[in-house]
Amino acid sequence: MLNQTSRRESRRPSTLEAAALGPWATGLWLALVCGLAFFHGLFTLAPLDKTEALQIGIAETMLRHKAWIVPAWNGHLYADKPPLPYWLAELVWSRFGLNPVLARIPAALAATAGVASLTWLTHRGCRQDLPARETWARTALAGTLLAFSPGWIAFGHTAVHDIYLALAVLLALGGYALGFGGASQRNRPLLGALWIGLCCGFGFLAKGLLGIGLPLLIIAVDAAVHPASRRLLLRPGCLALFSAALLAVVTPWAEALISGHHLAYIQGFLGFSHLQRATRAVDGHAQPLLFYLPVLLGLIWPWWPLLLSALGQLWQRRRHWRQAEGGIERLQQLAAVWLLLGLALFTAIPTKLPGYVLPLLPAAALLIATAPRHPTWCLRLVSLQLGLVSAALMVGLISLRLGQLGSYGQALQAAPGGTMLWLAGGGGLALLAALYGGWSHRGPQAPGRRWLGLLSSMLLLVSCLPALARPYRQLEQQPVLELARAAHRRHGKADVLFVLGRPRYSVVADAELDTIFGSPLNAPSAKPMSSLANWKRHGHDQEALVLGSCPSVEALGENPSLGITLLEQRRSTCLARLHRKSPKP
């Protein structure tokens, strides 16, 4: 039975007492939140270099060549990732046409599905111990916190693999809660085992073995603490159903790889993508040991004070963990294991990237939403952060009117009518809402109204993001894409395009030329990002195109063996024709 002390604590007056909602109000609110967070401005930016543009380019290559098993791009094998996100992009393109940015639609839907799954899990855990209206309020809070986390918004807007892995982990742990007592005393072990197997298979196709290992590790540790869950989990029928479901999802692709003799891909997928990343830092992604701690807090900004408070409250009740058999405290324990164990696992892996900890954000939102209380100082610290950002937006608009933001300000002023008014109104209202949520209330109704102010402030700030992103597309992305299209029109006898400086993978699709990232004066690297045929021509073609920053392009002309003819220029980026005066030895 749930420990009586913790049960009484969970029935204390709620910080959400004044924000009680019903099922219809919760559904409508979360629909608004998800629409604004994931679909508003989804296509504002062109594909982002390098990762998103690379992943979209791989999906385009698979679609054009009708090669559904092995990812490839720009003439070379790409063994880093499994193919599920590419398949999802191709489904969208088959319905709406091959527009690269449409590949973001599955990512936005995955982010929305994650919010829906978290609300279901929260409601299932809270309904045993809390009144119905407060249960719905906490359910709405969990989904809103996840949807309004910068990490979830960012990866919900980009066509990369991380959001699919995060969704798979969330769904698998939801199946564990359903079947083995993680959030309910009405266990359905067979259904839970089947669901976990399906979700782990989905995770494998999204990001590889991590999609299986991460949820199973969390489940194993949680079950080790709770004998009842462990006994259910180890039933032969559950293990058989889990294995059958996992194999049913994974086997078709694995069999196609083996039967097609794609040994090079298998070696790269298991060797580089898994073994090397797990044992040493690759591609220059070495970071300090505690790298993920500030990253995690940044990805859940501005809610991190509430997360630290929730973890502290859970630690105070640590002596009663084994007595919790279901309900809200059991759900909190699962979320704590999920967050802390995942953080420890990613910290131990030498290769570190911010997106790796994305699967931990639902656990953070769950811990905050189910905390027995939210201290006033935490809510005020959240309010202070939102207020400072809103004030910074207003100061930026004032500086723009004074002509102090340079080309960015000019691009913002040239945006479609109403943009400036929208930003001014949104920033001002966000500032007022943050102040309202932090300092304007006292009494029993204060906590709920504070939450109303904080969430409203975040909603207004999120609504301003597409308007703030448009100048970046105009100033940074559009010139490069225009020159890539110019390269396609004006390539003449040049069959190769060299891209200098920071790799811009987005140019490949628009240029429709064999592309090499690097200078024609440098020796090929050990891992060329182009086809073998192109690389062999690297030093022998008499004519090629070069795209890069104007100083780097002009510097090539200083070599006596090369001649440079400037073709077009967009801002500080140039496209030039390279003439090799004599073959490179």
pLDDT tens column, 402-416: 666 677 777 777 666
Q: Are residues 520 and 461 in the same domain?
A: no
Q: Are residues 220 and 87 in the same domain?
A: yes
Please check whether residue 116 lies inside any domain of the structure: yes
Cα separation of 261 and 584, whole Å? 37
Of 286, 315, 334, the position where a domain reaches its end is 286
pLDDT interval class at 3 (50, 70, 90): very low
pLDDT at 533: 43
Residue with tokens 């963990």: 321
DSSP reduced 3-state for 568: strand
Flag whether pLDDT at 16 surpasses 60.
Answer: no
Residue 205: which domain range? 17-286
Q: Are residues 460 and 566 in the same domain?
A: no
Please check whether residue 93 lies inside any domain of the structure: yes
Q: Are residues 178 and 204 in the same domain?
A: yes
Flag whether pLDDT at 240 surpasses 60.
Answer: yes
Please check whether residue 299 lies inside any domain of the structure: no
Q: Are residues 518 and 437 in the same domain?
A: no
pLDDT tens digits, one per residue of 495-540? 788 888 777 788 888 888 888 887 777 655 544 444 444 444 555 5
Flag whether pLDDT at 12 surpasses 50.
Answer: no
Please check whether residue 384 lies inside any domain of the structure: no
Q: Which secondary structure element, helix H or strand E, spans residue 268, and what is its range?
A: helix 263-270
Please check whether residue 319 lies inside any domain of the structure: no
Residue with tokens 């060549």: 65
Mean pLDDT on 36-64: 90
- Two structure tokens written together for 282: 């690759």
Cα separation of 246 and 196, whole Å? 8
Is the peptide bond between 50 and the residue preceding it cis, with omega within 30 degrees of 0?
yes
Cα separation of 2 and 322, whole Å? 9
Give 353's strand partners: none
Q: Are residues 397 and 545 in the same domain?
A: no
Mean pLDDT on 89-100: 91
Work out the angle between the directed axes of helices 162-180 and 104-126 (0-180°, nearest 10): 20
Flag whether pLDDT at 97 surpasses 70.
Answer: yes
Domain count, the chain: 3
Q: Is the dihedral of CA 109, 202, 114, 289 positive or negative?
A: negative
Of 446, 472, 498, the position where a domain reaches its end is 472
pLDDT interval class at 335 (50, 70, 90): very high
**Residue 52 corresponds to which amino acid?**
E
Contacts of 31 (CB under 8 A, 6+ apart): none
pLDDT tens digits, one per residue of 313-332? 888 877 666 665 567 888 88
Measure Cα distances from 4 to 125, 335, 410 in Å.
17, 21, 63
Please check whether residue 89 lies inside any domain of the structure: yes
Flag whether pLDDT at 584 surpasses 90.
Answer: no
Please check whether residue 160 lies inside any domain of the structure: yes
Cα separation of 391 and 398, whole Å? 11
pTM, 2 dp: 0.90
Of 444, 472, 500, the position where a domain reaches its end is 472
Is the peptide bond between 302 and the residue preceding it cis, with omega within 30 degrees of 0?
yes
Q: Are residues 418 and 541 in the same domain?
A: no
Please check whether residue 362 lies inside any domain of the structure: no
Q: Is the dihedral of CA 519, 521, 526, 530 positive or negative?
A: positive
Cα separation of 502 and 555, whole Å? 16
Q: Are 456 and 29 in contact (CB under 8 A)?
A: no
pLDDT at 279: 81
Mean pLDDT on 133-150: 91
Q: Are residues 130 and 276 in the same domain?
A: yes
List the end-to-end C-alpha distance of the chain, in Å, as a whole number: 80
Q: Are residues 439 and 494 in the same domain?
A: no
Q: Is the dihedral of CA 268, 270, 273, 279 positive or negative?
A: negative
pLDDT at 326: 61
| More confident of the two residues 387 and 542 | 387
Flag whether pLDDT at 17 surpasses 70.
Answer: no
| More confident of the two residues 226 and 149 | 149
